[in-house]
Each structure stands twice: as structure tokens, then as C-alpha cells.
Amino acid sequence: MSLTYEAVIFDLDGVICHTDRYHYKAWKALADRLGIYFDPEINNRLRGVSRMESFEIILENCDRVMTAEEKLAYITEKNNRYKELLKEMSPEDLSEEVKRTLISLRKEGLKLAIGSSSKNAELILSRIGLGGFFDAVSDGNHISRSKPDPEVFLKAAESLRIPPEKCLVVEDAKAGLEAAIAAKMDCAAIGDAAESDLGTYRLGRFGQLIQICISPDGVPRA
């Protein structure tokens, strides 16, 4: 049976696993210390963007002008706290459906990659039992422009040696869908992103990826 795609590139947070609560705790602790208002709605705006861009969004509620050096120090503080919180993660944070689907996709002969703006992708993957599982990991350590710029996905495709048009991106954030489109890649929207009309496909559950990659007929299109 022929495959529709040759590779699948996954966002990490919100797709393979969920680290939102750890990001929120770390940003909330920093915002509280600086006396800046921060809530879950603001936290949701930070999904898929870089650490510095996230801090700039948080600073919209701050009248204080900070130097570049101060900003760097604060986001480093946040990341150190976040990495400590990530130690609470374990293979139990990887759902059985995601695990089964990843194994099935690999058995079908697909290349699998991570395309994430996070600089902690390798750490997270190791904590949930997927260290070394993916054929390529393109993350915040390898890019200079975060989503919606397509760089992270293009670098993943380049590492896999697969043409962009043969790659399917799986994303849960609008910025990620926009990045996939800019990379000339089809995209499957899941979670909050499934409410958007930007995705090529709209996933109700992760396991639908198997059907999409083998035969897209009958899979909801956005």
C-alpha cells in the first residue's frame, strides 16, 4: 500500500505530550516576583513562540523598561525553574494512543521528526521515554526564527532528506499551522488548532494520523 507522505513532523508541546502546566508555573512564578499580571489566557498566547518572544508578551502588562541583559537574565531564570519542574515528567506523560500511533507510523516506513520551538525538546523526550526515538529533532537550539516562520520545519525536512511537499506536520497551535503552510507542507491540526480552518486535516484524535498517512479518504479536512 502506497503512503500519502514520507515523513511526519510533530510539534512537541501539546501534540506528543503536554507541558503547558510546567510553563505556566515557571512564568507565573517570575511574573509574580516582578509584580506583572499573568493568567492562563496570557499563557495560551505563548504557545509555539520563542522564550524571548514569550517574555515580550508578558511584558505588555509591565510599565518598566528593561535592558536586553535584564530580559536575558529573567528568561534564563524562568528556564531554570522550568527545567526543574520537568523533572516531574515521566513515561506516564506519554499516552498509550500517542505511543501506539508513533510505533505504527514507523512500521509503515515513515520517517518521524520533532519540529519544536522549545530549547528543551531533547530533555522532554528523554523524560517521557522517547529519547533517541525520532529520526530528527529540529528545535529552538537549531533555529534563529520561531513559528510562524517555517525554519523549524524546513530544517527537520532537511535533516530527514525528505522534500517538504512529502512531509506532514502535526500541530496544536495556529502559529505552527502558519509555519507549516509557509514551508509548503500539509498539516494536521489537533487540539485548539483544530478549531482553525488553516489545517489540511482536522484531527479528533491522534490515532487518525495512521489513516491520513496511508489513505486520507474519509479524514476530516479543515
Please give the Cα distance from 166 to 29 (Å, whole number): 42
> Each residue of 140-196: pLDDT tens digit?
998 999 889 999 999 999 999 999 999 999 999 999 999 999 999 999 999 989 998
For residue 194 the three cell numbers come to 483544530
For residue 189 the three cell numbers come to 491540526
Q: What is the pLDDT of residue 1?
A: 46
φ, ψ of residue 141 to 5 degrees: the values are -80, -10
- Sign of the torsion angle spanned by Cα atoms 17, 148, 194, 219: negative
For residue 123 the three cell numbers come to 530533555
Report cis status (omega within 30 of 0) of the bond before 148.
yes
Active-site residues: which are they?
11, 13
For residue 136 the three cell numbers come to 530528527
Bridge-based pairing of strands 111-115 and 7-10 is parallel
* Domain boundaries of the chain, sorted by first residue: 7-17+92-214, 20-86
Pick the CATH number of 20-86 from 3.40.50.720, 1.10.150.240, 3.30.2350.10, 3.40.50.2300: 1.10.150.240
- Sign of the torsion angle spanned by Cα atoms 17, 166, 111, 2: positive
What is the reported pTM? 0.85
Fold for 7-17+92-214, please state it.
Rossmann fold (3.40.50)
- Sign of the torsion angle spanned by Cα atoms 58, 148, 193, 75: negative
For residue 20 the three cell numbers come to 503547558
Domains 7-17+92-214 and 20-86 share a fold: no
Please give the Cα distance from 186 to 168 (Å, whole number): 5
> Each residue of 10-35: pLDDT tens digit?
999 999 999 888 999 999 999 999 99
Exposed (0-12), middle (13-18) or buried (19+): which is 35, by Cβ within 10 Å? exposed
% of the chain at pLDDT higher than 70: 95
Mean pLDDT of 206-215: 89
